[in-house]
Amino acid sequence: MSEVTFADVVAAKQRIDHLVHKTPVLSSHLLNNWLGHEIYFKAECLQKIGAFKIRGASNFLAKRHEANELPKKVVANSSGNHAQAVALAASSFHIPATIYTTENISSVKAAATAYYGAEVLKFANRTLADRAVQEAAETPETAWIPPFNHADIIAGQGTAALEALQEIPDITGIFAPVGGGGLLSGTLLATRELASNAEVIGCEPFNANDVAKSLRAGSIQSLNGPPKTLADGAATPCCGELTFPIIQQTDGFYEIAEIELVYWTQWLQHLLKLHVEPTSAMAMAGVARWLKTKNTPQKVMVMLSGGNISESSMRQIWEKDYLQTVPSLLD
Amino acid sequence: MSEVTFADVVAAKQRIDHLVHKTPVLSSHLLNNWLGHEIYFKAECLQKIGAFKIRGASNFLAKRHEANELPKKVVANSSGNHAQAVALAASSFHIPATIYTTENISSVKAAATAYYGAEVLKFANRTLADRAVQEAAETPETAWIPPFNHADIIAGQGTAALEALQEIPDITGIFAPVGGGGLLSGTLLATRELASNAEVIGCEPFNANDVAKSLRAGSIQSLNGPPKTLADGAATPCCGELTFPIIQQTDGFYEIAEIELVYWTQWLQHLLKLHVEPTSAMAMAGVARWLKTKNTPQKVMVMLSGGNISESSMRQIWEKDYLQTVPSLLD
């Protein structure tokens, strides 16, 4: 079914080891005590560019470098973490990168992308940016690095779970947020091999539940328009032809309400002292739901995807006080 | 002048090494590039209890344990990080602890203190709590652990700078926030020995500038009432008879406006991906001012004191967007 295998994840790990951080796995005594389970967090928010995305982009280029087939130029369309990932990965291989984005890209993300040496071209809307990157990709010796639907991207993202499961054995459940499905797909490939008894579970915003709908329909479904969710890393309109069949092999899938993901963003920032983005905290909301179905102590790994949060998201996250109600599985 | 020496800090380090985390030293390529200097952050927000305070409290009890003089009970008055520090340190030595605090203690801090095994007694106001702890301290074999004005507390807090300077040599400036002055005093003792050319600089909220006033007057001055500052860790009414003469030996002192410390809280949370408290970010505001006076590249250490932030503080921090204006030394 899948064109990507565990061996690809292992190869990716060797290939990108010197290009990315081995991020720490953290836990909270207080949280474990309250919930009565062991919960571990793979802190990809402390990864270079502040998100796991650098793993996939680095693997994409490192594999071409290995084959002596490095492109002369790379292009990508993104206004988020993928833009920074492509910019930094390209700079590691001394290749010029151009990012096609929209005029409403946040100034801080544009500045970071430019800092990594990429040219940032802004278009009036996403359709125009997508058209421009497509044209640019037709230039000879130019590589268009996709955000998730590519074997080398999936294998690269899988290295985060590979590291986490090598560090913490005997996990019974592993949770990842889902946008296009690159992280969840890579996580599944690593987990089936390293913790074969563990359940692999995806989490998506209820307000951007294209993958949940796709799983129910048995075919890829798309969002009708831009979704209203604070989990902006999971707002992707649909998953890909490569990620979908892998996602179909997962053991569970949760659609998370905005209030749940805000609650867990506050609590994870407070307990872990990390600037965790709502997309990551969403996975912990799935953990809390899942644990309510279990009668025996579980050992869970949560893939904290990143920590890039806009000021307006931070303002919305901290509007109300959810720290008053201590996490519990009793309600 | 001072009753505490570098040897006390070294002894404290050996004594508490197994009781506290060796926290990481982090930096931001982006920030260093924007400012044109090297800036390192000692991340005590990732310390046990989320703040450096566990170092002093642990040293206080570990030293008594070493002398076979452990008290039968410990008491402390605090509604903040010191409460949690005393609770956890006492539990490490299997001693019961009672914390005397006020009814408006945040539920999350009360829950954390109770989790570490301490009894939490709430009083209508601070005067009543202070009176009660004083009475309790007169019980035989009871130790009252003070928050900063004690040689063992100062020596314990100094271990944070000791670790940081052993890891990063040739620092030219080191910055710490100042409440009662325990962290700054310990930092000075470590720095004079390990980086004798470095300037040691304290930072205080302009709205709670009792130490700045004390330095100008040459004697300890107190705040007139509860100060209005988001840097709640630096809202202490006055420093102590032990910390003041050490603070007088520092090379500089900055009084930081609220807008400056909010600006740097946003930026440090964003760049370091850490849940840094405003009291810590205040020290970076001092760094930015200091760097404007320098013509050669500097290598700076910032003591990030902690990461315990209430929901209402988070809401105030993220009310406006300071991420639009990238840090610079040019204004």
Nearby residues of B9 by Cβ (< 8 Å), 6 or more positions away: B155, B158, B159, B162, B186, B189, B190
Q: In chain A, which residue's Cα lies nearest the Cα of B45? A: A273
Q: Are A225 and A242 in contact (CB under 8 A)?
A: no
Q: Closest approach of chain A CAs to the CA of B80, in angstroms?
A: 14
- Contact residues, chain A, for B319 at CB < 8 Å: 315
B107: nearest CB among A311, A318, A324: A324
Residues of chain A scoring pLDDT < 50? 1-2
Note the pLDDT of residue A145.
97
Note the pLDDT of residue A106.
77
Contact B266 A106 (CB under 8 A): no
Q: What is the token pair recorded at B254?
A: 């900055």
Dihedral angle over CA of B179, B185, B186, B191, nearest 10: 130
Burial B29-62 (b: 16+ CB within 10 A, else e): ebbbebbebbbbbbbbbbbbbbbbbbbbbbbbbb
User: B290, exposed or middle or buried, with CB in 10 Å at 0-12, 13-18, 19+?
Assistant: buried
Which stretch of DSSP H or E encloses residue B42?
A: strand B38-43
Contact B273 A273 (CB under 8 A): no
In this prediction the pTM is 0.95
* Amino acid letter, residue A70: L
**Which is it for strands B97-102 and B119-123: parallel, antiparallel or unpaired?**
parallel
Q: Which of A264, A311, A319 to mutate to test the interface with B (most CBs of B within 10 A)?
A: A311
Angle at the Cα of B302 (from B299 to B304), degrees rounded to 5? 160
Which stretch of DSSP H or E encloses residue B259?
A: helix B258-272
Q: How many residues does chain B have?
A: 331
3-class secondary-structure state, position B235: coil
Q: Closest approach of chain B CAs to the CA of A195, in angstroms?
A: 29
A273: nearest CB among B45, B108, B323: B45
| B91/B160 Cα distance (integer angstroms) | 22
- Contact residues, chain A, for B30 at CB < 8 Å: 111-112, 115
ipTM given for this complex: 0.93
| A184/A178 Cα distance (integer angstroms) | 6
User: What is the full DSSP assignment across B133-181?
Assistant: HHHHHTSTTEEE--SSSSHHHHHHHHHHHHHHHHHS---SEEEEE-SSS
Contact B309 A270 (CB under 8 A): yes
Longest dimension (CA), chain B: 60
Per-residue pLDDT of chain B (331 residues; tens, 9 = 90+): 448 999 999 999 999 999 999 999 999 999 999 999 999 999 999 999 999 999 999 999 999 999 999 999 999 998 789 999 999 999 999 999 999 998 888 777 888 898 899 999 999 988 899 899 999 999 999 999 999 999 999 999 999 999 999 999 999 999 999 999 999 999 999 999 999 999 999 999 999 999 999 999 999 999 998 899 999 999 999 999 999 999 999 999 999 999 999 999 999 999 999 999 999 999 999 999 999 999 999 999 999 999 999 999 999 999 999 998 889 998 6
Q: How many residues does chain A have?
A: 331
Note the pLDDT of residue B1.
41
3-class secondary-structure state, position B190: helix
Note the pLDDT of residue A1.
41
| B190/B164 Cα distance (integer angstroms) | 10
Q: Which of B314, B322, B324 to mutate to test the interface with A (most CBs of A within 10 A)?
A: B314
User: A2, exposed or middle or buried, with CB in 10 Å at 0-12, 13-18, 19+?
Assistant: middle
Q: In chain B, which residue's Cα lies nearest the Cα of A277? A: B273
- Contact residues, chain B, for A106 at CB < 8 Å: 323
Q: What is the token pair recorded at B297?
A: 């590249």
- Contact residues, chain A, for B29 at CB < 8 Å: 115
Nearby residues of A297 by Cβ (< 8 Å), 6 or more positions away: A36, A37, A38
Q: What is the token pair recorded at A266?
A: 């506050």
Angle between helices A182-194 and A6-16 (to 10 degrees): 110
A315: nearest CB among B310, B318, B326: B318
Interface of A with B (CB under 8 A): 29-30, 33, 45-46, 50, 106-108, 111-112, 115, 266, 269-270, 272-275, 307, 309-312, 314-315, 317-324, 326
Residue A12's Cβ-side half-sphere holds a number of Cα atoms within 13 Å equal to 31
What's the gap between Cα B222 and its chain centre?
19
* Amino acid letter, residue B153: I
